[in-house]
Structure formats: structure tokens, C-alpha cells
Amino acid sequence: MSNPKLAVHRKREFNEGKQESKATQEDQRKREAPRNNPHSTSQLNGERKKGVHQRDSSSASAPAANLKNRTKLTLDKTRKSKHLWPGDGQCSQFKVNFAAASSLSPCALASYPGSGNTWTRYLLEAASGVFTGSIYKDYQLYLHGYYGELDDHAAGTTIAQKTHDCGPTHVKAFRSTAVLLLRNPYRAILSFHNYLFGGHTGYAPVANYRRKDWGAFVKLQAKAWLEMAVNWTTQAEAGRLRVLHYEELKEDPIPPLEDVLRFRDLDVDPLRLKCLKSHTNKKFKRREEFIPAGLEIFSSEDRNKIDRAIRYVDYLLRLHNHRPVPLHLYEFYNGTASSKMTVVPCKEGETKLQCENRVDMMNKYSRKSTKTGSEGKEVKEENKRAHSGLERFARTKVGGAVTGVFSSLVKIFSQDPLDASLQDPSNLKPLHLQQVAGAPVDARQLIADFDPAQSVAKKGR
């Protein structure tokens, strides 16, 4: 199965000739009231104030229109659906369905990999009652209940469609309409790094942070994050873009989700949102992370470059009247430390390798321990049954032979994920940024910061 998140580094052929949705967005454009002047840039000097959540009136959700006058969306009750919270007596009636064909216009759910796209899809589906889609047709996600995964992006059956692409042709294929999901690039890069080595629920070894090519990986991923944010912000048509910040969704998902529902001309159901908030609070649990003492994840040089990219994106968002970057919630930004990482000293007599292996085990246990409640028990039992079945099969002669051959093939054909991402030809594309008057960061500086020629990785560790 191909890795959908690596698509951010690859050229994707995207068929623009597919028939677009028949649904019109005329009412949606009428709802777009003119916003105030661009936000003040007084906070663009990189100052991060702890405990202060700065909000700007012009970036808040647009006032709700008369929801009773909205055209009710037609659902396709003949297709597969799913119950969201079957064990909750007060919320068990809420389901997710497909919309009737051609009843919704295409809308990208665009993000850099590792930004929480899949989790945001869960929130959108729970809030709207309509499935989300994707351009990747990831069967693994389909089997986990994201049934809109296999529908075409222009079928008009899903509320938004996942993509990690941001090229001009790709933006036009979505009629320049999108929900742009942004996450702190420091955190998004670490999350994508974990995904490359462990999939949706795995983790990467901490020894990777000592690799000679780690710095090159960080620069290339920061460049990809910057391109994603800039391209969608500047190329989406006026009134056809909503920006979601992952950190704000974690703090309180309801206001941003209400804004997206209005943007997509869908009803807002207060009881459904109340159930969503209740179950999101129960489900979310911060995962503790551990790193060995003396290990530097991001060099001071890389942090300066990423900070400049963040400030540039923040200015663009303000200039285009979108919600600004929540700088006070960005770990690592402006010299701040991570509140989630616990430094673990190596034990006396312990080698560096032994220390890192011990920390890896701590991270692995921490990730597993975040699954709580009935959902966690179900996953645990399912994994236990699968593990037991595999063990029984492996003990047979046939099973032993099959697993042996499979393991050998994996070793022969597998490639180190960091090496694979660094060798992708799309990395050689230079960064294209326009000079923006009044921006706190010179575009030429960013182009030099993320020059692919300066990010050529050295082989080895």
C-alpha cells in the first residue's frame, strides 16, 4: 500500500477533467460579509506570552446566518453509515452518512502531513453528520470507519476531502475552495517523523535525532509546511478558504467547527456538538514524551529558520483576514521549551545505545497507555486476538516458512524512511515566495533559508 502522507513530497497526477459538483456556492458567497482591515502586526515580533490567548475580533467566526432558512442537506440513507457514540444513551442517535450525489461542492481539507488531518476529519464528521473524503483512497482508514475515503473528491458526497498537496493545478481542481489545517511546524514535523517509522500509531527511535541527515530532513519538512500554508492562503479565491489551527481545536473544537459548518452551508445542531465536546474531552489525553538528557532535537540554526517561516505565515493570514497563528500555543517557538517532553537522564554505567533504547520503550508504553475507556479496551482485545492468531500461525510449519520469507523480503526491499524522503526528487524544487510589503520577514531570506541545495543530506549516522 502506498504511503498517502508522502504525497506532499511527490508530484501527483490529478484529473481536473472530472465532473465538478452541480451544487452552487452563490448563497455561500453572499454570506461572506466583508471583514475588517488586516490585523495589527504589533505581535509579529515573535513575542510569545504564556497564558494569554490573544484573539482578534476580525478573525473570529463569522456571525451565524439564520440557520432555520438553510436548505437541508439530502443524505443518502441507502449507503453505509456509522454510529458515533452507540454506548451513550443521550448521544446514540447521532450517525454519519453520505450526502446525496452532487449535493456538495468539492472542498479540500488541506494540511502538511502530521498536522492532525485524520483527527480533524473525525471532528468534522461528528459535527456535521456527513462523511469526509480523501484523494488518497487509503484502505486502512476506510477499514477504521472513514467510509468516504474511497469516494471521488468531486462526487459531492463528502463535506471535505483530505489532501497534502498544494500545487496551483491541485488548488484549481478543488475550485480554489478549502479548509486549511495548520499546526505548529515543530510538532507537525515530529509527528510526521513518527508516522514514517511507525504508521498512524507508531513512533520513531530517538536515535534519529543524532543522525547526520536529521537537520536536512527538518529543513525540507519546514519548507513543505511553509509551501502548504502560503500556497493555499494566497491561491484560494476570496471567501473560499477557512483556516483551522490544530492547537485551537484541541483547546475548544466547537467554535472553529461551527465556522466550518456555516462555511459549507450546513446546519449546526447544538445537541450534536454538545455530544461531540463531551466525547472529545473523554477521548483526548496528552501523551507524555521522553528524550534522553543532552539530546537536541532542533538546532538553534533550524529554530531561527522555522521561527521566521512561522512569522511570515502569521502575517499572510492576518493580511488575508484569517485567524492568526496562536503563537502562545506553539512549543519550541521563540526559544520556548516543550511542555510535553520529559528529559530522562541516562543511568550510571549505561551506554548511549542502552539509554536510547530504554527511552524508546518508555515512549512506546506512553503511547499505548493513552488508550482509555471502552474504546481502549476494545482495541486492546482486538490486538490481543490478532496477536494470538498470528502467533499460532507462526508456530506451524507453513506459518514459519511464510513469515520467514516475508521478513527476508522486508529487509531486502525496505528503505530507511528518512533516506526515502530525502531522496524524493520533489525536494529539489526551489521555494517560490512573493515579496509582501510590510511582512516581518523578507521572502528572499526564507528562500535562502530553505534552499534545497543547502539541504542535501549526508549519508550515514
Give pLDDT, residue 399. Answer: 60
What span, in angstroms and rounded, lies between the C-alpha atoms of 209 and 333? Answer: 18
The pLDDT > 90 percentage for the chain reads: 59
What span, in angstroms and rounded, lies between the C-alpha atoms of 118 and 219? Answer: 24
327 confidence band (pLDDT: 50, 70, 90)? very high
pTM for the full predicted model: 0.77
What span, in angstroms and rounded, lies between the C-alpha atoms of 307 and 313? Answer: 10
List the domain boundaries for the chain.
Answer: 4-9+51-62+71-378+399-427
Dihedral sign of CA atoms 16, 17, 18, 20 in order:
positive
Give pLDDT, residue 397. Answer: 60
Instruction: Assess contact for 289 and 363: CB atoms under 8 A.
Output: yes
The DSSP bridge partners found for residue 259 are none
Quick one: average pLDDT of 218-228?
Answer: 97
Give pLDDT, residue 365. Answer: 82
Give pLDDT, residue 415. Answer: 75
Quick one: average pLDDT of 387-408?
Answer: 54
Q: How far apart are the first and last CA of the chain?
A: 28
Longest CA span, the chain: 72
CA 2 to chain CA centroid, Å, is 18
The answer as to CATH 3.40.50 being correct for domain 4-9+51-62+71-378+399-427 is yes
Quick one: average pLDDT of 74-93?
Answer: 95
Instruction: Assess contact for 263 and 28: CB atoms under 8 A.
Output: yes
13 confidence band (pLDDT: 50, 70, 90)? very low
Give pLDDT tens digits for 280-326.
Answer: 876 555 577 899 999 999 999 999 999 999 999 999 999 999 999 99
Burial 234-252 (b: 16+ CB within 10 A, else e): ebbeebbbbbbbbbbbeee
Three-state helix/strand/coil letters over the chain: CCCHHHHHHCCCCCCCCCCCCCCCCHHHHHHCCCCCCCCCCCCCCCCCCCCCCCCCHHHCCCCCCCHHHCCCCCEECCCCCEECCCCCCCCCCCEEEEECCCCCCCCEEEECCCCCHHHHHHHHHHHHCECCEECCCCHHHHHCCCHHHHCCCCCCCCCCEEECCCCHHHHHHCCCCEEEEECCHHHHHHHHHHHHHHCCCCCCCHHHHHCCCHHHHHHHHHHHHHHHHHHHHHHCCCCCEEEEEHHHHHHCCHHHHHHHHHHCCCCCCHHHHHHHHHHHHHHCCCCCEEEECCCCCCCHHHHHHHHHHHHHHHHHHHHCCCCCCCHHHCCCHHHCCCCCEEEECCCCCCCHHHHHHHHHHHHHHHHHHCCCHHHHHHHHHHHHHHHHHHHHHHHCHHHHHHHHHHHHHHHHHCCCHHHHHHCCHHHHCCCCCCCCCCCCCCHHHHHHHCCHHHHCCCCCC
What span, in angstroms and rounded, lies between the C-alpha atoms of 409 and 405? Answer: 6
Burial class of residue 62, CB neighbours in 10 A (0-12, 13-18, 19+):
middle
429 confidence band (pLDDT: 50, 70, 90)? confident
Give pLDDT tens digits for 413-427.
Answer: 567 888 888 888 777
Give pLDDT tens digits for 333-369.
Answer: 999 988 888 999 999 999 999 999 999 999 888 766 6
What span, in angstroms and rounded, lies between the C-alpha atoms of 253 and 53? Answer: 15
Give pLDDT tens digits for 176-201.
Answer: 999 999 999 999 999 999 999 877 66
User: What average pLDDT does the structure give for the chain?
Assistant: 80
Identify the residue with better confidence: 42 or 392: 392
Quick one: average pLDDT of 78-90?
Answer: 95
